[in-house]
Homo-oligomer: A and B are copies of this chain.
Amino acid sequence: MAETPLTIQVHPDDNVAIVVNANGLPAGTEFPSGLTLREHVPQGHKVNLVDLAEGEPIRRYGEVIGHAQRPVPRGSWIEESLVRLPPAPRLDELPLATAVPPPQPPLEGYTFEGYRNADGSVGTRNLLGISTSVQCVAGVVEYAAQRIRTELLPRFPNVDDVVALTHTYGCGVAINAPGAAVPIRTVRNIARNPNFGGAPMVVGLGCEKMFPEWVLSDDRPAPGPGNTDSIVRLQDESHVGFGAMLASIMEMAEKRLAELNRRTRTTCPAADLVVGMQCGGSDAFSGVTANPAVGFATDLLVRAGATVMFSEVTEVRDAIHLLTPRAADEEVGRALVREMAWYDDYLQEGASDRSANTTPGNKRGGLANIVEKALGSVAKSGSSAIAGVLAPGEQVDRKGLIFAATPASDFICGTLQLASGMTLQVFTTGRGTPYGLAAAPVIKMATRKALSARWHDLMDIDAGRIATGEATIEEVGWELFHLILDVASGRKQTWSDQWGLRNALTLFNPGPVT
């Protein structure tokens, strides 16, 4: 029995639609509208609803995603080579704060069970984070973390885990290069993530360029000598042998664990959440199923007074003209433009541009180019006013919808959102990726039912039901909102936490190594 042919046209002005059926649709497929397919169109790929002349705009999401490379009769497969990439929106003529969305009705009464910190921030986990000022100590810190986990942690049952915050920065880098501010503040701000309970400890070497003191301070103080209350330096004279280094780390860890163990979950308003939104391994469904459902949940969280970050500069760049009007004020609008311009320049320095973002998997998934990908990606931001903008790795300082500028690279975006203060992440994927973080729970949402079924023990929520009409964007959005509260409270476990799948911290270092 032939399947019912299903397509999605996002916006009434669109002259293309995407095919929903799992195996695509064959040539000759007829639609009630009278449209007949001239060729096979794979799942997630586009069919044109009208004849296109050469150079004619191709519209999806009500926006121009490119221009026809040649004349294309209606009913064709609009594969990527038919779509001429338009230039990115100019940054010098964007409307700033011209259509600021009015606040939506407050959403009251929603709470979660979190760990409240002395500074007022609230964690979703109770973790001992061991920061590092330089890559050279990574092996020793990982060795120590394993021993802490087996020898100390069982005595502190209120503490969830120990996280070795190792990375590859701190020495062998141009510490005075203009780009160095980014990795330095990232390491510092991750140490302050609410999930670590305000009890930082740092392991350093002693001869590195990034002093351990910088992890604990807003400035870049000169290094003090030797060990301190919060710093273990492996080169300290008191460390005679490897065992002495381990003993210093474990002694400090034990004190921190005792402090952390006194914390318990208390009922907190949803306003205390700091949620990061990300997508990775996207397909053409990302923009019509998972990301709009995330956008709906974003709006719910903003209505509840929470902080929500969206990121991924190269996936925002081509939709920036849709975002600057939503800036809460002109200053926020200018900050959005500033981050786009910084990244344009960064990519140009590397002889690249924003088209370097798209992957072969994106394209197989039906995304013709970065414009189409971006229009789907920004759906995660929902419809609220944009209340603030963070440069990569800056700490968030307000409630509401925040653009936290990061690369789209999954590991780097996750690392930077942790630095910005994210305590829970939502991650949407169409192609499928086994993403996970050690420092915050990650809820993974599939854009397609096929992925959700196949990766049944890796995907936490299925937005593919939106494409088939089994659920609405609103329904999946509410489902996600409730799951966020459950996971933040520790009532439900995500699959990545179940398996212990954790990405390495991956710092964004725009400066050179030496």
Contact (Cβ within 8 A) B349 A241: no
A407 at interface, CB cutoff 8 A: yes
How many chain A residues touch B (CB < 8 A): the figure is 84
Q: Residues 459-499 of chain A: 1 if any B CB is under 8 Å from the residue's CB, otherwise 0?
A: 00000000000000000000000000000000000011001
Interface 9-mer from A76-84, A149-157, A203-211: A203-211
Q: Report the Cα distance A4→B462, complex, angstroms.
A: 77
Q: Report the Cα distance A431→B239, complex, angstroms.
A: 13
Q: A205-B433, A350-B511 are in contact. Are A223 and B360 (CB under 8 A)?
A: yes
List the B side residues contacting A208 at CB < 8 Å.
Answer: 359-361
List the B side residues contacting A168 at CB < 8 Å.
Answer: 411, 504, 506
CB contact between A511 and one of B135, B138, B352, B500 (< 8 Å): that residue: B352
Q: A207-B361, A242-B434, A512-B347 are in contact. Are A409 and B503 (CB under 8 A)?
A: no
List the B side residues contacting A410 at CB < 8 Å.
Answer: 135-136, 171-172
Contact (Cβ within 8 A) B512 A432: no
Contact (Cβ within 8 A) A458 B347: no
Contact (Cβ within 8 A) B454 A512: no
Contact (Cβ within 8 A) A504 B411: no
Interface 9-mer from A108-116, A173-181, A381-389: A173-181
Among residues of B, the one whose C-beta sits closest to the C-beta of A357 is B514
CB contact between A207 and one of B178, B241, B359 (< 8 Å): that residue: B359
List the B side residues contacting A176 at CB < 8 Å.
Answer: 352, 356
Q: Report the Cα distance A222→B412, complex, angstroms.
A: 27
Q: Report the Cα distance A173→B506, complex, angstroms.
A: 13
List the B side residues contacting A513 at CB < 8 Å.
Answer: 407, 409, 412, 508
Q: Report the Cα distance A439→B350, complex, angstroms.
A: 31
Q: A503-B138, A513-B412 are in contact. Are A209 and B359 (CB under 8 A)?
A: yes
Among residues of B, the one whose C-beta sits closest to the C-beta of A207 is B361
Among residues of B, the one whose C-beta sits closest to the C-beta of A505 is B168
Q: Report the Cα distance A85→B330, complex, angstroms.
A: 47
A143 at interface, CB cutoff 8 A: yes
A322 at interface, CB cutoff 8 A: no
Q: Report the Cα distance A212→B463, complex, angstroms.
A: 29
List the B side residues contacting A119 at CB < 8 Å.
Answer: none
Contact (Cβ within 8 A) B240 A177: no
A377 at interface, CB cutoff 8 A: no
List the B side residues contacting A434 at CB < 8 Å.
Answer: 136-137, 139-140, 234, 242, 245
Contact (Cβ within 8 A) A281 B136: yes
List the B side residues contacting A359 at CB < 8 Å.
Answer: 171, 207-209
A237 at interface, CB cutoff 8 A: yes
List the B side residues contacting A338 at CB < 8 Å.
Answer: none
Contact (Cβ within 8 A) A361 B206: yes
Report the minimal beta-carbon distance from A451 to chain B, rounded to whole angstroms: 9
A287 at interface, CB cutoff 8 A: no
Q: Residues 214-242 of chain A: 1 if any B CB is under 8 Å from the residue's CB, otherwise 0?
A: 00000000010000000000110101111
A298 at interface, CB cutoff 8 A: no
List the B side residues contacting A177 at CB < 8 Å.
Answer: 350-352, 356
A398 at interface, CB cutoff 8 A: no
CB contact between A205 and one of B178, B207, B281 (< 8 Å): that residue: B281
Q: Residues 435-467 of chain A: 1 if any B CB is under 8 Å from the residue's CB, otherwise 0?
A: 110000000000000000011111000000000
Q: A176-B356, A433-B136 are in contact. Are A512 and B346 (CB under 8 A)?
A: yes
List the B side residues contacting A207 at CB < 8 Å.
Answer: 281, 359-362, 364-365, 431-433
Contact (Cβ within 8 A) A172 B281: no
Among residues of B, the one whose C-beta sits closest to the C-beta of A435 is B136
CB contact between A356 and one of B205, B408, B506, B512 (< 8 Å): that residue: B512
Among residues of B, the one whose C-beta sits closest to the C-beta of A209 is B359
A501 at interface, CB cutoff 8 A: yes
Report the minimal beta-carbon distance from A156 to chain B, rounded to whole angstroms: 24
In the complex, the 4 A-B pairs of residues with the closest C-beta atoms, listed nearest first = A207-B361, A172-B409, A350-B512, A139-B501
8 pairs from A and B in contact (CB 8 Å cutoff): A136-B434, A140-B501, A143-B499, A174-B350, A177-B351, A243-B457, A357-B514, A508-B513
Question: B-contacting residues of A (Cβ < 8 Å)?
Answer: 135-140, 143, 166, 168, 171-179, 205-209, 211, 223, 234-235, 237, 239-243, 245, 280-281, 314, 346-347, 349-352, 354, 356-357, 359-362, 364-365, 407-412, 431-436, 454-458, 495-496, 499-504, 506, 508, 510-514
Given contact pairs A172-B409, A174-B347, a sample of 10 additional A-B residue pairs in the complex whose CB atoms are under 8 Å apart: A166-B504, A172-B407, A205-B431, A206-B361, A207-B361, A207-B431, A207-B433, A235-B361, A241-B455, A349-B512
